[in-house]
Structure 1
Amino acid sequence: MQQPVYFLSHGGGPWPWLDGPFRDGFAWLEASLKALPAQLPARPRAVLVVSGHWEEPGFTVSTAAQPGMVYDYYGFPEHTYHIRYPAPGAPDLAEEVVRLGAAAGIAIGRDPARGFDHGTFSMLQPIWPEADIPVLSLSLRADYDVPAHLALGRALAPLREQGVLIVGSGFSYHNLRQFGAGAAAPSAAFDAWLRHTLLDLAPEARADALLTWDQAPGARACHPREDHLIPLMVAIGAAGADPATCIYSQSDLRGGVTASSYRFGPDTTPSGFDRIGQALAEA
């Protein structure tokens, strides 16, 4: 049974392992992630994560049978540098990823040492805390070339029929120097553009619009580096003609940021974790 595709905002650092205001700020996001398994047609065979926290000169897939951890954050409590997300890897599936890439003329390298970064484990912890579904990671290409990432997603789309859940893990807003009230206007403007592009445009038109994403309102204020947006391009490529649903959105994240997550699949039933949509409906 074909799996949907997701672009998920994954939150900040190791937030699922924290307590207090920082963790509480992601409560709405956490609820949306916990609701994700119920949106799937079946339990995934594996999860393929394209994380905004892994980039290489060329596309690269993790091949470890038991991936380690990559603590790619700083300034958090000591215990967060010892946490584990012990999901198994998927070496056989990694070889299928390499094969599909080659068939499309896309070279994909192998990395037997790459572990789970926080764009992977912090996002997956609320979804599958049991860590019992195989997970493999796929890097971005460091040039952030949009057509190349769209093409990669198209090449990997057959994995969906094999029960593999493809997830682009990033953040629809990612400017670490500007959170809070100063982010309110640009993040709302960019989020509105992204929502229109993904939900209202035909599949070919939405892909075309994403080629010039940096011309959208607030684009560079939200993404001075587009590492957290580029996973969306892989998701869009893998989604094909499937419609999009906004499964999470809020306008008060970290004191004023608007951020969203999207599902691509034939079932467009809203998830109920869309504060913006609720506000529009009530207006």
Structure 2
Amino acid sequence: MQQPVLFLSHGGGPWPWLDGPFRRGFDWLEASLKAIPAQLPEKPRAVLVASGHWEEPRFTVSTAAMPGMVYDYYGFPEHTYHIRYPAPGAPELAERVVDLAQGAGIAMGRDPVRGYDHGTFSMLQPIWPEADVPVLSLSLRADYDPAAHLALGHALAPLRDEGVLIIGSGFSFHNLRHFNAGAAAPSAAFDAWLRHTLTEVSPAQREARLLHWDQAPAARICHPREDHLIPLMVAVGAAGNEQGLCIYSEDQMRGGISASSYRFGGDLAPSRFDLIGAHARA
């Protein structure tokens, strides 16, 4: 049964393993992530994650059978450098990814030691806390070329019919110097453009707009470095002609920013997590 495609805002650092105000800032995001299994036609055979926290000179896929952990954050409590997300890898699926990419003329490397970075494990922990779904990590290409990432998504689309859930893991807003009320207006402007692009225009127009995403309102304020936006291109490429649906949205994350997540394909009934504003979490 065909799986949908997701672009998820994954939150900050190891937030699912924390408590207190920092963790509470992700309550609505956490609720939306926990709701994802019920939105799928069946439990995936595996999950392929294109993470905004892994980039290589060429696209690269992890081939480890039991990936370790990449603690790619700093300043958090000591216990967060010992957490584990023990989901198995998917080496056979990795070879399928290589074959699909190469069949489309796209170079794809293999990494036998790459572990799960926080763009993968922090996002997956609320979705499958049992860590019982195999996970395959996919790097971005370091040039961040939108066209190349859309093309890779197109090449990998057949995986959806093979029971694989493709996730682009990033953040719809990612400017670490402006996670505060000062980002309210620019993040809202970019988020509105993104929602229109992903949910209202035709698939052909959608890709054309994403190729020039940096011309969107406040684009470079919201993404001074586009590592957390480019995973969206892989997701959109894999989505093909599927319309997008906003499955998570709020405009008061971390004191005022707008953030969102999207699903392509599947049941496009509105999600109760597509609600705007702090009042929606009451």
> Normalising TM by the smaller chain, what interval?
over 0.9
The runs of at least 4 consecutive aligned structure 1 residues that moved more than 4 Å come to: 277-280
**Does the aligned pair in 1 maintain the 2:156–2:238 contact within 8 Å?**
yes
Paired amino acid for 2:52 = G
**Does the aligned pair in 2 maintain the 1:243–1:266 contact within 8 Å?**
no
Question: Which blocks of at least 5 consecutive residues in structure 1 are unaligned?
Answer: none
Q: Does 1:3 align with 2:3?
A: yes
Q: TM-score, normalised by structure 1?
A: 0.97
**Does the aligned pair in 2 maintain the 1:154–1:240 contact within 8 Å?**
yes
CA distance in 1, matches of 2:136, 2:117: 11
1:56 is matched with: 56
2:152 is matched with: 152
CA distance in 2, matches of 1:251, 1:275: 9
Q: Calculate the aligned-residue CA RMSD, in Å.
A: 1.3
Q: How does 1:185-264 map to 2 (within 5 A)?
A: 185-264=185-264
Identity of aligned residues (%): 79
The number of residue pairs the alignment matches comes to 280
**Does the aligned pair in 2 maintain the 1:69–1:117 contact within 8 Å?**
yes
**Does the aligned pair in 2 maintain the 1:10–1:170 contact within 8 Å?**
yes
Q: TM-score, normalised by structure 2?
A: 0.98
1:90 is matched with: 90
CA distance in 2, matches of 1:32, 1:218: 26
**Does the aligned pair in 1 maintain the 2:17–2:80 contact within 8 Å?**
yes
Change (3 A) 1:277 1:182: closer
- SS of structure 2 residue aligned to 1:144: coil
Question: Which blocks of at least 5 consecutive residues in structure 2 are unaligned?
Answer: none
- SS of structure 2 residue aligned to 1:177: helix
| CA distances 1:235-257 after superposition (whole Å, capped 9, x unpaired) | 00000000111000000000000
CA distance in 1, matches of 2:266, 2:128: 23
Paired amino acid for 1:152 = L
**Does the aligned pair in 2 maintain the 1:46–1:135 contact within 8 Å?**
yes
- SS of structure 2 residue aligned to 1:97: helix
CA distance in 2, matches of 1:191, 1:85: 31
**CA deviation after TM superposition for structure 1 residue 276, in Å:** 2.3
| CA distances 1:153-181 after superposition (whole Å, capped 9, x unpaired) | 00000000000000000000000011111
| CA distances 1:174-204 after superposition (whole Å, capped 9, x unpaired) | 0001111110000000000000001100001
- SS of structure 2 residue aligned to 1:275: coil
CA distance in 2, matches of 1:198, 1:192: 10
Paired amino acid for 1:60 = T
CA distance in 2, matches of 1:170, 1:150: 15
**Does the aligned pair in 2 maintain the 1:187–1:257 contact within 8 Å?**
yes
Paired amino acid for 1:192 = A
1:18 is matched with: 18
Q: How does 1:42-53 map to 2 (within 5 A)?
A: 42-53=42-53
| CA distances 1:26-59 after superposition (whole Å, capped 9, x unpaired) | 0000000000000000110000000000000000
